[in-house]
């Protein structure tokens, strides 16, 4: 039967009925907040391209964690930078670096999942995500550095490590290194399908991690490719990833939805810096309404299949009750 016997509007008549029939919800627990740690500053330094976000001295993390815990977020995703960049990015696995230091202050004190991003781009002079000459990255030398970094973070108390360097074999290398150190309970959130994207630009201001020569297209994926994205996810799954992530999010919802059908792993999506910056800029101009657009975006990620969402909107969305 169709119209006039069928009228879809019958089930949309009241707010309470719409709430009863809502198929997808976003709860704060699904949200992970990225936090930028900078050991060179005494007080928070606002990031102009990410309004509402700052770089924080590691000592500020307990306060952020308290807020996140009160808002019942799922967790934090920590990014660090070194006191000094070097050719090989040794600062990344320095046990006294910003991320391990901050982690040690938090461990056991919060009901949050603490995730540490594992990459070298903020630590190398080249600004690339691996070790090499200029833009030429040595994949296998990079794996050793990433594994040392992951072990340092896990020892400091990271619940999960999240390799984002797009080095081939990085998930397997981390798993072996962690297990070798008796860190078999540390989970790996794999940036499995990570495309080279203009949407990361505000992040690179935050982390001062733009490549000095060339670009990241020889290790990050071409966003035009759907089958290649699924292969990336298959490989990370086979290497032992616990959670698979799609990044960026808004431009790759088709891949997220497809991954939901192909994999039984929990799926994450990264609502990246450029996606956040676009929303904030339009809100500041009064062109869109933040408390309407943010829940719509976050719901789209859930509907497409994400179990958890890394988003710069996390705290505001959870604290302001926009999620309903």
Q: Which of 117, 232, 236, 239 binds ligand PBG (CB under 6 A)?
A: 117
Residues 17-36 that bind ligand PBG (CB under 6 A): none
Residue pair 95/58 in contact by the 8 Å Cβ criterion: no
Q: Compute the distance between CA of residue 242 and CA of residue 103 in angstroms, rounded to an integer.
A: 21
Q: Compute the distance between CA of residue 81 and CA of residue 39 in angstroms, rounded to an integer.
A: 7
Q: Is 109 a catalytic residue?
A: no
- Check residue 119 for interaction with ligand PBG (CB under 6 A): yes
CB atoms within 10 A of CB 25: 13
- Check residue 190 for interaction with ligand PBG (CB under 6 A): no
- Check residue 142 for interaction with ligand PBG (CB under 6 A): no
- Check residue 93 for interaction with ligand PBG (CB under 6 A): no
- Check residue 164 for interaction with ligand PBG (CB under 6 A): yes
- Residues 6 or more apart whose CB falls under 8 angstroms from that of 63 comprise none
Q: Which is nearer to ligand PBG, 181 or 242 (CB)?
A: 242
Query: What tokens does 274 get?
Result: 């450029």
Closest CA to 200 of 271, 256, 104: 271
Residues 202-231 that bind ligand PBG (CB under 6 A): 203-204, 216
Q: How far is CA 85 from CA 91, 116, 120, 291, in A?
A: 7, 19, 10, 39
Residue pair 167/194 in contact by the 8 Å Cβ criterion: no
Q: Considering only 6-14, 19-27, 178-186, 198-206, which stretch makes contact with ligand PBG by CB under 6 A?
A: 198-206
- Check residue 129 for interaction with ligand PBG (CB under 6 A): yes
Q: Is 217 a catalytic residue?
A: no
Residue pair 273/51 in contact by the 8 Å Cβ criterion: no
Q: Which of 135, 244, 272, 309 binds ligand PBG (CB under 6 A)?
A: 272
Q: Which of 170, 252, 273, 299 binds ligand PBG (CB under 6 A)?
A: 273
Catalytic residues: 194, 247
Which parts of this chain interact with ligand PBG (CB under 6 A)? 117, 119, 121, 129, 164, 200, 203-204, 216, 272-273
């Amino acid at each position: 039967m169709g119209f006039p016997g069928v009228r879809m509007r019958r089930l949309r008549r009241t707010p309470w009925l719409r709430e009863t029939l809502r198929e997808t919800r976003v709860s704060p627990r699904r949200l992970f907040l990225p936090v930028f740690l900078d050991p060179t500053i005494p007080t928070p330094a606002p990031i102009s391209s990410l309004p509402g976000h700052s770089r924080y001295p590691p000592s500020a993390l307990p306060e952020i964690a308290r807020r996140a815990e009160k808002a019942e977020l799922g967790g934090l995703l920590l990014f660090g930078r070194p006191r000094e960049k070097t050719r090989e990015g040794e600062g990344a696995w320095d046990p006294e670096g910003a991320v391990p230091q901050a982690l040690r202050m938090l461990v056991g004190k919060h009901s949050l999942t603490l995730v540490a991003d594992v990459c070298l781009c903020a630590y190398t002079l080249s600004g690339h995500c691996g070790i090499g000459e200029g833009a030429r990255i040595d994949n296998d030398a990079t794996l050793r550095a990433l594994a040392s970094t992951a072990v340092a973070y896990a020892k400091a108390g990271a619940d999960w490590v999240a390799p984002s360097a797009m080095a081939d074999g990085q998930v397997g290398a981390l798993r072996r290194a962690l297990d070798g150190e008796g860190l078999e309970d540390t989970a790996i959130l794999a940036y499995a399908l990570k495309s080279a994207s203009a949407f990361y630009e505000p992040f690179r201001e935050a982390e001062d991690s733009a490549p000095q020569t060339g670009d990241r297209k020889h290790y990050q994926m071409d966003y035009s490719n759907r089958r290649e994205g699924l292969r990336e996810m298959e490989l990370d799954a086979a290497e032992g990833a616990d959670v698979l992530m799609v990044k960026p999010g808004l431009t790759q919802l088709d891949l997220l939805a497809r991954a939901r059908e192909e994999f039984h792993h929990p799926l994450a999506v990264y609502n990246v810096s450029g996606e956040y910056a676009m929303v904030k800029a339009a809100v500041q101009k009064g062109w869109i309404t933040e408390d309407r657009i943010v829940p719509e975006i976050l719901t789209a990620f859930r509907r497409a299949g994400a179990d958890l969402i890394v988003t710069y909107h996390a705290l505001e969305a959870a604290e302001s009750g926009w999620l309903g």
